[in-house]
Amino acid sequence: MEESRLDRALRSFQEQASRASQLKEKIAGLRGQGRNPDGSVTVTVAPSGAVLGLNLSPLAMRKTHTQLQKEILGAIRQATEQAAAQLQATVEPVLGERAEQFKEAFNAHVPAVGPAAPEPAAAPGPPQPVRTPRNRPASPEVEPDDFGGPILRREQ
């Protein structure tokens, strides 16, 4: 009697592990795709929101940088929503009531995709030099007294 209960528990565990492995494979293959209205921007994402592909047609290059930014972000949002819907449809039959918990845990680390609107362009002006360690501003002159008290100074 005791052995059959152990066998049932082991069999149940093996079935759950098999379903989890199958679910993992299905999730790994999910992709969402988004496009802008004229089809010049196409984005492919994983359910996590990771961008897997970005295709820009020559028509996309005729847009202003702010318009292109909006359209890329819009396509990413569309693709992410599609991938999330696919993920939900994939896990719900397997996880049932726990699907919502899974969705929350899965999306807990996914940040929002960029700003809703591009930031305004900076006012035109003279270009600012890029500071690197080699061309950073010189340090002010160091006075001998700047480095401490009597330990570093020789008493006279």
Q: For 117-129, how does the pLDDT look when each residue is reduced to its tens digit (9 = 90+)? A: 545 555 566 666 5
In a domain, 120, yes or no: no
Q: How far is CA 143 from the centre of its chain?
A: 49
Residue 155 has pLDDT above 70, yes or no: no
**In the prediction, which pLDDT does 97 show?**
74
Residue 15 has pLDDT above 90, yes or no: no
Please give the full DSSP string across 82-138, using - where no structure is assigned. HHHHHHHHHHHHHHGGGHHHHHHHHHTT----S-SSPPPPPPP-SPPPPP-TTTSPP
In a domain, 24, yes or no: yes
In a domain, 73, yes or no: yes
Q: For 25-76, how does the pLDDT look when each residue is reduced to its tens digit (9 = 90+)? A: 888 889 999 999 999 999 999 988 899 999 999 999 999 999 999 999 999 9
Q: How many domains does the chain have?
A: 1
The whole model's pTM is what?
0.57
Residue 81 has pLDDT above 90, yes or no: yes
In a domain, 74, yes or no: yes
In a domain, 37, yes or no: yes
* % of the chain residues with pLDDT over 90: 34
In a domain, 135, yes or no: no
34 contacts 75 by C-beta, under 8 angstroms: yes
**In the prediction, which pLDDT does 21 show?**
85
Q: And the tokens for 66? A: 């702010």
Confidence of residue 20 (pLDDT cuts 50, 70, 90): confident
